[in-house]
Amino acid sequence: MSPLPSSPEPSATVPGWPPLPWVRAPRKTLAASLALGVFAEVLLDRASWGLGFPLVVAALVGALAWLGGREGWQRARPNAWLLAPLGLVSVFVAVRDSSWLLVLNVLTAAVLLMLLAHFWAAGRVERLGLTGYVSVFFSSAARILIYPPTLARDGVDLRGLKTHSRLLGALSRGLLLTLPVLLVFGLLLGSADGVFSSTLGRLLSFDLDLGTVVSRGIGVAFSACVAAGVLGHALRRRATKELGDAEVASATPRLGFIEALMLIFAVNALFFVFAAFQVAYLFIGDASSPVPGYSFAEYARQGFFELVVVSALTLALVMALTRWTRRETRVAQTVFRAGTSLMVVLTLIILASAMRRLALYEDAFGYTLLRLYTHVFMGALGAALAWRAVTLWWKPERFAVGAFITALASVLVLNFLNPEDFIVRRNLEQAAHTHSLDVRMLTYLSADSVPALVDGVSSLGEVSAGSVTDLLEEHQDRLSQRETVPEWNLSRLLARRALLRTGAWSAPVNP
């Protein structure tokens, strides 16, 4: 058996055409992309996503490791830590049923895949600046569009097809000759024996609906193009320096030290006065009673988003001052760091005030998905502010990667927390004391909430319990639909088992 012919050399650029990049092993990459396209279409073209998504991501990463070889893996090792969060968020698609988490996990996986493709051959993720992560994502997403035509150009050997044109022509003529003969003999033999006819009918019973064939073909082509773009971008030959190959260059300071110090002291004075009022009322005084002139809801809600915006703007202000302020002596550097560190500390108090206001509102009116996600966002913002204070004194160039890791950690915290289960359990606990439950909010929740609803329905009053029972019946109807293996999801499995434990319905529930 003769070995496969070697991959063709990159063809010359045709005048008038845009230049196309060079890709290592184009035939192997093209074959892997087509296989991944079929694999993704089979697993992801479903009513709901589940186990199929992490399998597709694992297949894509496996194809990248196979095509890159040992040398490629050695180069990718400094950035291999990206595989850990990528694997976790991909697996959580098969664990959580919440549509909010599904969107968040898929988007996070896309960002991590773009970073992994960009840094597979060289560079370091931690060398990026804060805007570098955004630039790498969008530039990688744009550049992968050019790799499918590159693989089609270099992976298909048209000269080889011309060489074997006689053989291909003979095969085509033989096929055209064979099919009509088989059709005639098959019809005659089927008419002669009913058992043979029915067996042959079952074997050949498949749907050739044109719409299905076209949609499947488009799905395979789209998935193959995405796979080709990611693989081609990761295995590209780097001709020039790219983002992440070197540390971000320091900007030329343009703001005087005196001007920056005046701004820092003025903002710190304002923040100190505001923080003193917040501590006096929210953390020391009686925050459970409304401020005179405001209802409880108005005070808890008023200014919440403004405080969050102030915290975010302060982070941006500290970053801008650090980048653009001239600090020519060691004393100036120390004074600047102390002033901006104090600004961060006061901002953390303001952020804690916003979180306290939201907590008071939740204690009075219950939890929702938006409120819980906002809590996690504010926690991530607080962690980024604290890390900014640390990097003012130690390795300032590592703030960006710390902020990026904080964002990844917030996504994982939401997944591990299981927001819908958390919300239902807390709201049912409150309803047991207040005899008031927002059932309308519960109708928007997914199968993630079913075990908590089953566990807590017995503690509710008659009216609320009846509404929750109706809601569980709706979940039971939805979950009674059979799922294929690519659609398997842990939360939906646990929800079915929780419904089965109640024994309240005689209709079978698909476990």
Q: What is the pLDDT of residues 325-361, one digit of tens each?
A: 988 889 999 999 999 999 999 999 988 888 887 887 7
User: Residue 23 pairs with which residues in a beta bridge?
Assistant: 236
Q: Which residue has the tokens 């807590």?
A: 456
pLDDT above 70 (res 461): no
Cβ–Cβ under 8 Å, residues 220 and 38: yes
∠ CA 310-315-317, nearest 5°, is 90
CB-count burial class (<10 Å; 0-12, 13-18, 19+) for 356: middle
pLDDT for 170 equals 78
pLDDT for 203 equals 59
pLDDT above 80 (res 154): no
**What percent of the chain has a predicted confidence (pLDDT) above 90?**
31
Higher pLDDT, 99 or 468: 99
Under the banding of pLDDT at 50, 70 and 90, the label for residue 140 is confident
pTM to 2 decimals? 0.81
Q: Who contacts 87 (Cβ-Cβ below 8 Å, separation ≥6)?
A: 54, 57, 58
pLDDT above 60 (res 160): no
pLDDT for 442 equals 85
User: Residue 255 pairs with which residues in a beta bridge?
Assistant: 325
Under the banding of pLDDT at 50, 70 and 90, the label for residue 3 is very low
Lowest model confidence (mean pLDDT) among 23-37, 146-160, 309-323, 488-502:
146-160
CB atoms within 10 A of CB 173: 10
User: Residue 325 pairs with which residues in a beta bridge?
Assistant: 255
Q: What is the pLDDT of residues 366-389, one digit of tens each?
A: 888 988 998 899 999 999 999 999
- DSSP letter for each residue of 408-435: HHHHHHHHHH-HHHHHHHHHHHHHHHH-
Question: Residue 209: helix, strand or coil by DSSP?
Answer: coil
Under the banding of pLDDT at 50, 70 and 90, the label for residue 10 is very low
pLDDT above 70 (res 168): no
Spatial separation of the C-alpha atoms in residues 233 and 226, rounded to whole Å: 11
pLDDT for 97 equals 94
Q: What's CA 139's distance to the chain center, in Å?
A: 18
Region 52-77: what's the mean pLDDT?
89
pLDDT for 89 equals 97
Backbone angles phi, psi at 49, to 5 degrees: -90, 150
pLDDT above 90 (res 88): yes
Domain boundaries, the chain: 26-157+211-234, 257-417, 421-502
Lowest model confidence (mean pLDDT) among 47-56, 81-90, 234-243:
234-243
- DSSP letter for each residue of 10-38: PPPPPTTSPP---BSSHHHHHHHHHHHHH
Query: Can you say whether residue 244 is alpha, beta or left, with left for phi > 0 and alpha for psi between -120 and 50 degrees?
Result: left
Q: What is the pLDDT of residues 197-240, one digit of tens each?
A: 777 666 555 555 667 778 888 888 899 889 988 888 888 777 67
Region 153-174: what's the mean pLDDT?
67
Q: What is the pLDDT of residues 421-454, one digit of tens each?
A: 999 998 888 877 776 777 788 888 899 999 988 8
pLDDT above 70 (res 165): no
Higher pLDDT, 232 or 269: 269
Cβ–Cβ under 8 Å, residues 35 and 47: no
Higher pLDDT, 172 or 21: 172
pLDDT above 50 (res 15): no
pLDDT for 57 equals 96
Question: Residue 99: helix, strand or coil by DSSP?
Answer: helix
